[in-house]
Amino acid sequence: MTQPAGLIAPGTHYEPLIGGKRRSFTGETFLAIDAANGGRIATITRSGQAEVDAAVAAADAAFPAWAATPAPQRARLLHRLADWVEENLTRLAAIDTMDIGRTIFETPIDHRIAIGQYRFFAAAAMTHFGWNQAVPGGWAIAMREPIGVVGQIIPWNVPAIMTAFKLAPALAAGNTVVLKPDENASLSTMELCVALAEIFPPGVVNVVPGFGDEAGAALTAHPGVGKLAFTGSAEVGRLVAHAGAERLVPVSLELGGKSPNIVFPDVEDVDRVVDNATFAATYCNGQSCLAGTRLFVHDDLYETFLGKLRTSFEAVRLGSPSDPATRLGCLVSAKQGERVLDYIASGKREATLVTGGGRAAVDGSERGYFIEPTVFETANDTRIAQEEIFGPVLSVIRWKDYDALIEQANDVDYGLAAGLYTTDLRNAMRTASRLKAGSVWVNQYFNLVDGSPFGGYRGSGLGREYCAETLDMYTQLKSVVLAEELPPPLFG
């Protein structure tokens, strides 16, 4: 099977964007495959050391002029990029749906979030200047300056959002960029290169598609890169951090999660809580570092809640990603599908399966890995409750003692996000303060707001994205102290 007509022309080949032009130094390519039906969509250059070297050189050459570009002008270009995404949103969303198997119901939301990021950082760039104050006999000034060439690596689950999360603050702050998209989800980013080449001066943004152990490794180790930014697994994040440490360059990391989602006994509308908890675990096909995959339900309403949760999960419509009525598509690849099925098999051995637990067949998409929305009753110390599965699999844990709940909620390697449902303000605030998580959502999971810090504690990474403070990660702070006159002589 092939992709729907009009999205990407048959025989399309994407080359890296280097210095404002499409350039390759190798004949090696890889395929972009339709996640649902296995059809060939396009070929993409498999970038290696030569492409990375050229991209870094182009970014380095472009840096002085871009860093000197006034913030209002950088902001205007970011707004132009947002306008382009807005004009092409329908097509870009459909391309992502083919590329990664996420539903056409969801992928437009990704691009709207991306648009919001480009516009947010266009505005934030206008006010990010450091500070100054008068001191006896002069002035003290702290100046914010861009770092230089930034190397960025993004994952496959939400490519539009991840691209915006990385490009928007780096460009707003005056840096130039070499971006490596994931080999499983390059298409919408490569399409974005059309706008990047048209809007920004040559070399300001460079895109090198390829594999992590080739293009990614070359980028993280490159001596011309002044900062590294990575989103992905904790295992690879440690390698990126090590590469940064060896060269003493700053590194920001957004890694995995195993987020607790807590139901208090005082909730009034149980059905709506069940619905939101279902959404928290199945959005993005469960392939989200934010997913609320550990659901703690109070003993007082546990049996009632679990029954409603089972009904809710069984009502999630699983089907073709391109069908607007579908709410759960397929996983990004066979490799990811087998990984999730392995976790489900582990859950069947050590926990109690409530619903789901298998691979579903979808007519016309037989190659896709469609995983039934799956619920387990389990304890917090099982493998499925401790490790990030990245699929539509929810662990439900009964709780009664509040202090024990908090201990268990925090008893994982991660600390990216958390949710809770309560009508009691005291419950909400004291619990939010005790949860070791970078984002805590009360009564609405995934409640992302432009400008709110996003990032994690512990194994979930270093730094914060999505907020004005992100610009601090992409700048250096220089101290300048001016005296009105020379000091009195000390020697003679």
DSSP letters of 218-277? HHHH-TT--EEEEES-HHHHHHHHHHHHHHT--EEEE-----EEEE-TT-S-HHHHHHHH
**Contact assessment for residue 79 and residue 116, using Cβ atoms and an 8 Å cutoff:** no
In whole angstroms, give the CA distance from residue 18 to residue 202. 8
Around Cβ 202, how many Cβ atoms within 10 Å?
15
Q: DSSP class of residue 435?
A: S
214 labelled catalytic: no
d(CA 21, CA 16) in angstroms, rounded, equals 8
**In the block, which residue shows the tokens 């498999």?**
46
Task: Count CA atoms closer than 13 A to 138's CA, side-chain side.
Answer: 10
* The residue to which tokens 């700053």 are assigned: 250
For the chain, the residue count is 492
Which of the residues 289, 330, 372, 465 is marked catalytic?
A: 289
| C-alpha span between 214 and 221 (Å, rounded) | 11
Active site residue 289: yes
**Token pair 């309403």 in the structure block, residue:** 301
For residues 30 and 46, is the Cβ–Cβ distance under 8 A?
Answer: yes
From CA 278, how far away is CA 361, in angstroms rounded?
Answer: 22
User: Cβ(392)–Cβ(347) under 8 Å?
Assistant: no
| CB within 8 Å of 103: residues ≥ 6 apart | 97, 285, 321, 323, 326, 327, 328, 329
Q: Where are the beta strands (DSSP E) in 299-438?
A: 352-355, 359-360, 370-371, 374-377, 393-399, 417-421
Three-state secondary structure of 116-128: HHHHHHHHHHHHC
Give the span between the Cα atoms of 444 and 442, in whole angstroms.
6
State the number of CA atoms in the 13 A half-sphere of 328 facing the CB.
29
Choosing from 254, 372, 388, 465, which is the catalytic residue?
254
Confirm if 317 and 327 have CB atoms less than 8 A apart: yes
Torsion 99-105-110-111 (CA) sign: positive
Instruction: Using alpha carbons only, give the angle 17, 466, 421 rounded to the nearest 5 degrees.
Output: 135
Distance CA 300, CA 304 (A): 9
- Positions annotated as catalytic residues are 254, 289
